[in-house]
Structure formats: C-alpha cells, structure tokens
Homo-oligomer: A and B are copies of this chain.
Amino acid sequence: MNRWTLGQLAEYVKGSVHGDPSAIIESVATLENAQAGDISFLANKKYTNLLSTTKATAVVVAKEIKSTANLLIAADPYFAFTQIIILMNGHRRHPQTGVSEKAVISSSASVGKNCQIADFVTISDNVSLGDNCVLYPGVFIGADSKVGDNGILYPNAVVYDKCTIGKNCIIHANATIGEDGFGFATYKGVHHKIPHIGSAILGDDVEIGANACIERGTIDDTVIGQGTKVGDSVVIGHGTRIGRYCLLVPQVGIAGSATLGDYCAVGGQAGIVGHIKIGNQVQIGAKAAVINDIADGQIVVGSPAIDANKAKRAYSLIEYLPEMRKKIKDLEKRLDSK
C-alpha cells in the first residue's frame, strides 16, 4: 500500500522534516495540482510562489522556506523527489509474456534467463540476449548483435546487425540503432554507397529516445558511453564517440567522426559538425551550432556557438541592428557636415 509518514520519507532520502513528521503521504504531485496526501517538490525557483498556495501535505525543498506545506529538506530536492517517486510507483511494469511463440528467434541466437519476448519480435542469427531482457512487439535485432542483461526495447525499435547494446539499456519505440551512416563517395556526380563496416556500440545504462537514430560507423565504431541519455529524434553520425554520462536532449544532431567527452549536456535541436572534439563537462545550449573544438568545461550558446556569457548579450542585440545601422549613418552625416 502506498502510504508513508513524512518522517519515513525523510529518513529514506536522508533529509529532515520541518513540520509534522507524522503527516501521511500517499502520492506525488506537482505544486500546482497537489492535494492533501501528496508530496511535491521545488527544484526550479520560478515556482517558489506556489509554495504559499499549494495544497500539498509536504514539499521537498533545499532549505527552510515559507510554505503552506510541511517541508522535507534535502540537499538535492530533485533527486530526493525522484527517489520518492520510485519508492511509491516503481518503474514501468512490463507485460510478462515469456517468450512468445509468435516471435521469430533464430536457432543460432542465445537468449538469457527470464526474458520477455513479445509477439512479432525478430531475433536474427547469432544474436546474444542477456538475462531479464524485455522486447516489445515489432522489435528487430539484426544478426550478430548483442543486448546485455536487463535491456528494454520498446515496440518497433530496430537494431541492425553486429551492434552491441550494454547492460540496463533502454531503447524507446521506433528508435533505430546501427543503420548505415550518411556516407557516400561522390565520383563524377554519382554518390557511391560506402559499406559501413563499423558498428554501433552502446555502453551500459544508456537510454535512447523514441525515433532516435544512431548510425553505425563507416570503419571505426560509433560509441555511446556508459550512462549517456539520448533524447527523442536525436541523430548521431557515423563514427562519432559520445562519452559517459552525457545528456543529449531531443532533436540534437551530431555529425560523423565527432568526439564528445564525459558529462556533457547538449540542448535541444543543437547541431555539432563532424570531425571536431568537444571536451568533458561541456554544456551546449539549445539550437546551438557548434563548428569548432570546445575545451573542457566550456558553456556555449548560439549559432554559431560562442561562450555563453558573451552569447546571451550578443545575440540579444541582433534586435538592435536597424537602430545601430541608422546611428552609424547619422554619425557619418554629422562628421561629414563638420
């Protein structure tokens, strides 16, 4: 039964209670929609004013603050709240289909223990599937590919041949892993297809969004590092290497043979050209166009992408270009007339 005291939750997330530790919490909600029995959270200052009107029984916050609700104070409220969501709801419970007779599994494939393989799944020759994998209907795993333990592949996700998916990976619906990259040798105007003999390798704990595309490498492999999360409709080019624990927000595009370090964050719709090197802990703004190498720890914004501090002001001044141009003309006239 979903029923905790606020004190129990505080203990669970190693936080402290400011208010009534015996208050009963039964579910989670946003500040705006919370009712009695709900716990909510404040991670974004923008919503601070909601603390004085929320009907939540408790709110997870970083420090003491005025509120109509009891407070659960935690060093990292967002993480604490996440732990509480998981405690109360768990992750998605998948259909326990066992191995469907309507799936087609090659006799040369190896399937681990306790896998749920749904109808209309195709597991090709020499595929190796770890334990506890969940393959939803319409999933295709190409020949010689591997999926590690606890892999979850949602409906119609496609993994081409000779790819490697690490442990605990999640591939969302309609994502494509290991398709041929956009590689053609143009000769006398005709684009000749280059066989892509590299593959696509996903480290452990990688999540790939719906309808995302991870091209296989032309010669060297495309690699997504451990713990990296890739959003919906992202496209990663052939031979690109993404480090560990990166966040690539939906619709990002990274061209081929680029390198990203560890702990990078790339905002939505940003683009990174091929053959460049992005360091560790780099942050790239939404819609940025990155065309040069970036050193460790830099934050860039804009199209073309420049240092974020400069960029915020610089790009906001585009609006004043007509005025600036007029002033220059005026100045010229004034000087001419002197």
Contacts and interface: CB of A to CB of B under 8 A. Distances in A.
Interface of A: 28-30, 32-33, 44, 46, 76, 78-79, 81-82, 85-86, 89-92, 95, 102, 104, 118-120, 122, 124-125, 136-138, 140, 143, 154-156, 158, 160-161, 170, 172-176, 179-180, 182, 184-187, 189-195, 197, 207, 209-213, 215, 219-220, 227, 229, 231-233, 235, 237, 245, 247, 249-251, 253, 255, 263, 268-269, 271, 273, 275, 286-287, 289, 302-304, 306, 310-311, 313-322, 324-325, 327-328, 331-332, 334-335, 338
A11 to B, nearest CB: 18
Nearest to A194: B82
A179 B154 contact: yes
6 contacts: A85-B194, A122-B137, A170-B180, A211-B211, A213-B232, A324-B324
Given A29-B219, A269-B271, A319 B324 contact: no
A239 to B, nearest CB: 8
A78 B136 CA distance: 41
B182 A156 contact: no
**Among all A-B residue pairs, the 7 with the closest Cβ atoms:** A82-B185, A176-B210, A140-B155, A317-B321, A158-B173, A213-B232, A179-B210
Contact of A211 (B30, B174, B227, B311): B174
B137 A89 contact: no
A172 B332 CA distance: 58
A235 B249 CA distance: 11
Contact of A314 (B138, B194, B321): B321
A237 B213 contact: no
Contact of A232 (B30, B182, B231, B316): B182
B190 A245 contact: yes
A329 to B, nearest CB: 8
Contacts of A255: 249-250, 268, 286
